[in-house]
Amino acid sequence: MILQIAVGLPFAVATLLAATGRRLPRIAIDAIATATVATLSVLLGLVLAGGDRTVWLGGWGEGVGISLVADAVATGLALTVTAVALCALVVSWRYFNEVQAIFHTLVLLFTGAMCAFVLTGDLFDAFVFFELMSVVAYALTGYQSEEPDTVHGALNFGVVNSLGAYLTLTGIALVYARTGQLGFVSIGRHLHGHDALVTVSFALICTGFLVKAAAVPFHFWLADAHAVAPTPVCMLFSGVMVELGVYAVARTYLTSFADAIPAEPVRVSLIAFGSAAALLGGVMCVLQRHIKRLLAYSTISHVGLLLVGVGLLHEDALAGAAWYLIGHAGVKAGLFVGAGALLNRFETVDEHDLHGRGRSMYVAGLIFLLGGLGLAGLPPSGTWAGKALIEEAGGHSILALGVTASALTAGAVLRVWLRVFRGAGPPHPGTTQHHDAETEFKLSRLPWTMLAPGVLLVLAGLLLGLLPGVVIGRAVEPFTHLPGPAPAPWTATSIASGVVAVLLAFGVAALGIRGRIPRVDLLHRLHSGHIGDYVAWLVAGVTVFGLLLLA
């Protein structure tokens, strides 16, 4: 019963806020929304402590009913969602000039949809919550709809993700026609033998999830959305939403299609797409001066590494991916808090225009410094521990990929820290884009509610490598069927790779400060902002993905 209450709670409270929010004072709305997510976290914690369980809604059984599957990995991921959502709500207490109950309603719906998405045991039900998550995300992206750029970013988000959802629905229809089943486990029991129909259905289903994960070449919408979405929303997008796409790919294959599609083409496809995202996202991250876009491209790069970890289809790599996901969620959500602090103090997130202006913002500066180190994989961060297991399972080529991507993304963040908060390098006068502040700031310093969540999130990400391996091992047991603790990340090779990545990141930052990183016009032209180009890349991506699976 606790599981059903946990899934239904955010939707019920969101409905009440939508109906009564206009008559409630702001402090009551904040309190209700925050208390709801806090209560949801407690309920999920009780579910996790109670062990794995499956609940059939309405009393219907397998074949006709819809199940909720609260295994360790799903419940742990749902807890990660609520932790980031809780921090985002606390940040929003003093963040906006004007905020109505509709914002809190949307955040509760978004949180509930993400939790239900990871907990449902039904593929079609997962699609339903996938679409609910997407619709709410469109509205949150365009929350400040009076700005033209906001409408453009929300439109790109909506069109690309909707097309991905249609492809997923088509794939679900094909697999239902073959098996007559919609449950993840039930589909796996009825799928035997490898043929083109099964492969095409898997490719279509996963394409929608890869769009949500912003894997290359489905990634174009992400930077456009992050550039215009309010900062608390960006915390949810980069901290947890995109990772759900990778989780969905892993669950779909390992639970439903593992006996029907050989592992090798799946491994090649996911590693290829993940590697492309890791490298392209890293390069684009270094080339940005818009800080929110910079952080968005770093998300693309790190989700690429996460996809590589899943694509290896190795129990140690899957454990590393779980570790990496949680660590990245904390670090990236915290970094967006720092970016929001800059935006609301100076009404710009242009790195050059902010040169030296953040010297007095000690807490925000600390967030960027620690966040950069977390992205680089400094021990004992969660990103380091996860990357260590992925690199151990993947060998030297994956190790080189992980170090390179980490160094590029962390170097860009550390460059922002040096230039904005330390005043390093020469100023770069020029035209910058002004942004209206998202909050009315009248105090001599930012309120603790706008900074403390960022510090806590970044510190959590930096310390997650100390989490006992038995916790991670139990979390991925439903996927690996190999009980026991995950391997310890504390090896000489893993520590050395973390230190090297940190040193290289400072090198990238120093080169950026001195202006020695060349501009790559071709990459900027590819990221044109035109929705037609993005759709063309989506079509090309699903075609290549399908061909790799059929090879």
pLDDT tens for each residue of 72-97: 899 999 999 999 999 999 999 888 76
Predicted local confidence at residue 95, as pLDDT: 80
Average pLDDT over residues 160-165: 92
Task: Evaluate whether residue 294 is within a structural domain.
Answer: yes
> Chain centroid to CA 514: how far?
31
Alpha-helical runs (H) found in 120-214: 123-141, 148-179, 184-190, 196-213
Q: Is the pLDDT of residue 57 over 90?
A: no
> Chain centroid to CA 454: how far?
16
Predicted local confidence at residue 59, as pLDDT: 67
Measured CA to CA, the distance from residue 313 to residue 504 in angstroms comes to 29
Task: Evaluate whether residue 111 is within a structural domain.
Answer: no
Average pLDDT over residues 242-246: 95
**Mean predicted lDDT score pLDDT of the chain:** 90
Structural domain range at position 404: 263-517
Global pTM? 0.94
Measured CA to CA, the distance from residue 464 to residue 466 in angstroms comes to 5
Task: Evaluate whether residue 51 is within a structural domain.
Answer: no
Summarize pLDDT for 16-52 with one digit per residue, the tens: 999 998 889 989 999 999 999 999 999 999 999 888 7
3-state secondary structure 152-175: HHHHHHHHHHHHHHHHHHHHHHHH
CB atoms within 10 A of CB 367: 28
Band of residue 322 on the pLDDT scale cut at 50, 70, 90: very high
Predicted local confidence at residue 148, as pLDDT: 65
Average pLDDT over residues 288-314: 95
Band of residue 303 on the pLDDT scale cut at 50, 70, 90: very high
Measured CA to CA, the distance from residue 479 to residue 515 in angstroms comes to 46
Task: Evaluate whether residue 124 is within a structural domain.
Answer: no
Q: Is 292 in contact with 417 (CB distance < 8 Å)?
A: no
Task: Evaluate whether residue 432 is within a structural domain.
Answer: yes
Alpha-helical runs (H) found in 252-314: 263-286, 291-311
Q: Is 17 in contact with 108 (CB distance < 8 Å)?
A: yes
Predicted local confidence at residue 486, as pLDDT: 78
Task: Evaluate whether residue 68 is within a structural domain.
Answer: no
Residue of 156, 284, 318, 287 lying closest to 229 (CA atoms): 156
Structure tokens at 30: 């904040």
Q: Please give the helix or strand (H or E) that residue 495 lies within, else none.
A: helix 492-513
Task: Evaluate whether residue 14 is within a structural domain.
Answer: no
Q: Is cis: bond before 217, omega within 30 of 0?
A: yes
Q: Is 439 in contact with 97 (CB distance < 8 Å)?
A: yes
Q: Is the pLDDT of residue 65 over 70?
A: no
Predicted local confidence at residue 142, as pLDDT: 78
Summarize pLDDT for 438-488 with one digit per residue, the tens: 555 544 578 888 999 999 999 999 999 888 877 787 777 777 765 677 788
Structure tokens at 17: 């806020």
Summarize pLDDT for 116-139 with one digit per residue, the tens: 999 999 999 999 999 999 899 988
Predicted local confidence at residue 62, as pLDDT: 64
Please tell me the total count of domains within the chain.
Answer: 1
Task: Evaluate whether residue 425 is within a structural domain.
Answer: yes
